[in-house]
Amino acid sequence: MAVQIILASQSPRRKELLERVGFSVKVVPANIDEIRIDDESVEQFAKRMARSKCLAVVRRMQATLYQVDPEGGSGTPSVSARRMAETRWVVAADTIVSLGEELLGKPKDTAEAADMLGRLSGTRHRVITGFCVHDLRKDKEGVQAVSTDVLFKRLTPTEIEKYVAVGESMDKAGAYAIQGVGAYLVDSISGSYTNVVGLPMCQVIEMMEEMGARDVLPY
């Protein structure tokens, strides 16, 4: 099957969500600096990061396809570059856990993971995913941020210690994975579940449909 979506993310969870609904996906990670600008809201930051990731991969694809050779002519794209160019859609996302306007990123170590979980214990926080869909054929993109409210149960120190020991915390914003063992930490959510996992599938597919992706949509 031809690749339908280039995913500008290393997240296996996002890839799995897209594949679960029927898309064929190729991962092309984006390496960008994730630094929040002063006075930038959480939503603005998430959208800016998603768009920056998306455009970084788009530019890399375009540069690979249209390289100029040393003699001054236009280079011949490789087979892999040509195949990537046949793919029309690039999707990128950035997921943030927010306590008010404070961001909880990926913990540096187990001590920071435990501290984050302690702060989230018994409280309501927001998970915001900014996502960007880019149409390579028309060279335009759509950007949106989706927010889900998550309420944690009140955690005991022993529960926090045992959960950190599971090993899920280290590559997750907020130090938990709702789709894994961390499901038991969550009392309730209000909003998109897949948004908390890493990609709000309803809104992503709606945007793709609005942008003209009916030929690759899985329905």
Q: Which two tokens stand for residue 94?
A: 């950035």
Q: Which two tokens stand for residue 77?
A: 């794209």
| Amino acid occupying residue 80 | S
d(CA 10, CA 156): 33
Which one of 38, 39, 69, 94 is the catalytic residue?
94
Across the chain, how many H-helices and E-strands are there? 7, 7
**218 vs 22, 24, 211, CA distance in Å?**
6, 10, 15
Concerning whether 38 is annotated as a catalytic residue, the answer is: no
Helical axes 157-166 vs 110-120, angle rounded to 10°: 130
Residue whose structure tokens are 């990609």: 199
Q: Which two tokens stand for residue 35?
A: 């630094």
**9 vs 28, 52, 86, 125, CA distance in Å?**
7, 12, 19, 24
d(CA 6, CA 46): 19
Residues recognised as catalytic: 94
